[in-house]
Structure 1
Amino acid sequence: TPIPCIRCNQTVKFEDLLATARDLDAEALVTGHYVRRVSRQMGAELHRAVDPQRDQSYFLFATSLAQLEFLRFPLGNLEDKSETRALADVFGLPVAAKPDSQDICFVPDGNYGQLIERLRPGTAEPGDIVDLDGRVLGRHHGIIHFTVGQRRGLGLSGPVPLYVLKLDASLGQVVVGPKAALGRRHIPIRDANWLDHLPPLDGRQVRAQIRSTHSPVPAQLAVVEGGVYAVELMTAQEAVAPGQACVIYDGERVLGGGWIARAMG
């Protein structure tokens, strides 16, 4: 289950655009992200936005400390979107009344499946929908149309609701099961980025967010040789999907995060 907005921030916005800003001898790169940059004695910190409904810190966990020093986020301290629109109107910006959009910018029609099929031929091939024991329950029209935790659109009926538990790309299978089977506590992560100015501490009590639509929940870090290796959630969370980000917080502050490698236990 990919999340391209984070990759876009890593590359197009905070590498290419930031490099251009430096080439122009700019003092800073200002963006419209709803996050806060807080200056401390040890350096800049990344914090959640004042407006929790607009907070975008989950999408910026991969920002480096060097980038954070150069970035500014003026919208992060605004109470709600109405303040943003009012300021845009004061400054005569044509987007002041522009409707909100949840679509990915390079997929304006919302047809994500068609885009993935074009980029990764074969992902739209039909296959089996199976239960945890491997029994075939139905057929699907491509695993690109499913994500872990999904309930609607399976085309199955039975005595209990079924949810997508796993996507097996090698077999072209969608594995389904009861909601109780969705819960996960142990989350290994890869390609971690650490934003704290001190190294991660094994056993540190933190809060972890596993999807952009979820709220951070209590968790504990597991560390190997100074690098974040895994997160142990205090209570099981549903829809833990490889490819999504697991972002680590200390209160309102983003400590870092990484990509969910697999869901276990």
Structure 2
Amino acid sequence: MTKKVVVGMSGGVDSSVAAHLLKEQGYEVIGVTMQVWQEDDYYEDMESGCCSLSAVEDAKMVAYHLNIPHYVMNFKEAFKKNVIDYFIQEYMEGKTPNPCIACNKYIKFDELLKRAMDLGADYVATGHYATVEKINDRYTLRKSKDHNKDQTYALYNLTQFQLAHTLMPCGIYKKEEIREIARKIGLNVYSKRDSEEICFIPDNDHGAYIKRITKDKVKEGNFIDKEGNVLGKHKGIVYYTLGQRKGLGLSFGVPMYVIDIKPYTNEVVLGSEEDIFKTDLVAKDVNFLPFENLTSPMKVEAKIRYSSKPAEAMISSIGKEKVKVKFTDRQRAITKGQSVVFYKDNILIGGGIIDS
């Protein structure tokens, strides 16, 4: 019996080629574009990446070209609650969240999977650069062939059930190979640029977005040094993140960096670059893939943000859902709200949200 798969189609080249590859492999493919954009007159005339109306038209054209059915499904309420509201609240608490990780956890591999199963599908599929792999009766993810495009960092939250019902056919290709496949089969999106901005903030000004949405909740406060001396005024803590040097609006004669954010006193602490290098962190909401729980300390390679290089570290459990991470070498700007993700031999071990 032919297996049925729902492909989340963003209108980009990766998800488009994913749909093509799965059809070539003999699956019954259904394309679904998730409607997550909110009614927002401010961005009415702007391109909004995978959340835009133009993305729907691109996905529809691709589905027509591939001769597969295509549907637009409304996920606006779930997206607002689990991604946008979370994103805003984290920034208001002085943290720096990753909305793509929240979207993967709650929307693409939860809500979309539920809808797919309602349609009688066996799997959901995306254009992510990663490969689902089963090792010793447990599902995990292997880094993609294209390490420059690897997206396993944003996928550490997936459960065993979700992984068992997920396909990621792009993981065994490099980006240029995916574009070449799209060109050869006549997809106009083969040269479409990758979306790099936050999809619901197309101008990438997250501070202005949060201030506009929360109205009077974002307030000016003080820049202070480590001793508590006032150095000047900031325009609201949501505009800043740990390690930031540019955009402070002040001149000190020497480079100054954000080394801490204090939401309860509405203060941003500035210091030298030396102050932002640390070796230790504690992560919460930890999820492991090859095993249920960490029972003994483990040497891994760990990343503290999507763009950082993996670095040698030792992880050890603190209770059920927290781990301590100790890096061999100091890491720059370990930031609350971001995720730390663990690897061993290109296999995704798990990860969690940096808590302290």
The TM-score range, normalised by the shorter chain, is: over 0.9
Question: What code does the residue aligned with 1:58 have?
Answer: Y
Name the residue aligned to 2:129. 34
Instruction: State the Cα distance separating 1:260 from its structure 2 match.
Output: 0.5
Q: Secondary structure of the equivalent of 2:308?
A: coil
Calculate the TM-score normalised by the size of structure 1.
0.92
Instruction: State the Cα distance separating 1:228 from its structure 2 match.
Output: 4.4
Instruction: State the Cα distance separating 1:125 from its structure 2 match.
Output: 1.1
CA distance in 1, matches of 2:210, 2:281: 26
Contact in 2 for aligned 1:129/1:140 (Cα 8 Å): yes
Name the residue aligned to 2:336. 242
Question: What code does the residue aligned with 2:181 have?
Answer: L
Contact in 1 for aligned 2:142/2:348 (Cα 8 Å): yes
Q: Number of residue pairs matched?
A: 261
Q: Secondary structure of the equivalent of 1:147?
A: coil
Contact in 2 for aligned 1:222/1:230 (Cα 8 Å): yes
Name the residue aligned to 2:348. 254
CA distance in 2, matches of 1:82, 1:29: 24
1:8 to 74, 86, 103: 103
Name the residue aligned to 2:317. 223
Contact in 1 for aligned 2:127/2:168 (Cα 8 Å): yes
1:180 is the counterpart of 2:279: no
Instruction: State the Cα distance separating 1:91 from its structure 2 match.
Output: 3.1
Question: What code does the residue aligned with 2:314 have?
Answer: Q
Contact in 1 for aligned 2:138/2:289 (Cα 8 Å): no
1:157 is the counterpart of 2:157: no
Q: Secondary structure of the equivalent of 1:89?
A: helix
Q: Secondary structure of the equivalent of 1:108?
A: coil
Contact in 2 for aligned 1:186/1:230 (Cα 8 Å): yes
Instruction: State the Cα distance separating 1:117 from its structure 2 match.
Output: 1.9
2:168 to 44, 54, 73: 73
Question: What code does the residue aligned with 2:104 have?
Answer: N
2:229 to 114, 124, 135: 135
Contact in 1 for aligned 2:285/2:321 (Cα 8 Å): no
Larger Rg: 2
Name the residue aligned to 1:55. 150
Question: What code does the residue aligned with 1:233 have?
Answer: F
Contact in 2 for aligned 1:116/1:123 (Cα 8 Å): no
Contact in 2 for aligned 1:128/1:172 (Cα 8 Å): yes
Question: What code does the residue aligned with 1:4 have?
Answer: P
Contact in 2 for aligned 1:151/1:162 (Cα 8 Å): yes
Mark the CA change 1:249 to 1:134 in structure 2 (over 3 Å): closer, same or farther: same
Q: Secondary structure of the equivalent of 2:188?
A: coil
Name the residue aligned to 1:25. 120
Question: What code does the residue aligned with 2:152 have?
Answer: S
Q: Secondary structure of the equivalent of 1:96?
A: helix
Q: Which has the higher mean CA deviation after the structures are superposed, 197-206 or 145-154?
A: 197-206
Question: What code does the residue aligned with 2:305 have?
Answer: R
Contact in 2 for aligned 1:182/1:238 (Cα 8 Å): yes
Calculate the TM-score normalised by the size of structure 2.
0.70
Contact in 2 for aligned 1:200/1:227 (Cα 8 Å): no
Ranges in structure 2 where 5+ consecutive residues have no aligned partner: 1-95
Q: Secondary structure of the equivalent of 2:350?
A: strand
RMSD value over aligned CA atoms? Answer: 1.7
Instruction: State the Cα distance separating 1:101 from its structure 2 match.
Output: 2.1
Contact in 1 for aligned 2:342/2:348 (Cα 8 Å): yes
CA distance in 2, matches of 1:184, 1:119: 34
CA distance in 1, matches of 2:322, 2:295: 9
Q: Which has the higher mean CA deviation after the structures are superposed, 58-67 or 216-225?
A: 216-225
Deviations 1:210-265 (A, max 9, x none): 01110111011121356542111111111111100011111211111110001xxx
Deviation beyond 3 Å, 4+ runs, structure 1: 118-123, 224-228
Instruction: State the Cα distance separating 1:119 from its structure 2 match.
Output: 4.1
Instruction: State the Cα distance separating 1:41 from its structure 2 match.
Output: 3.9
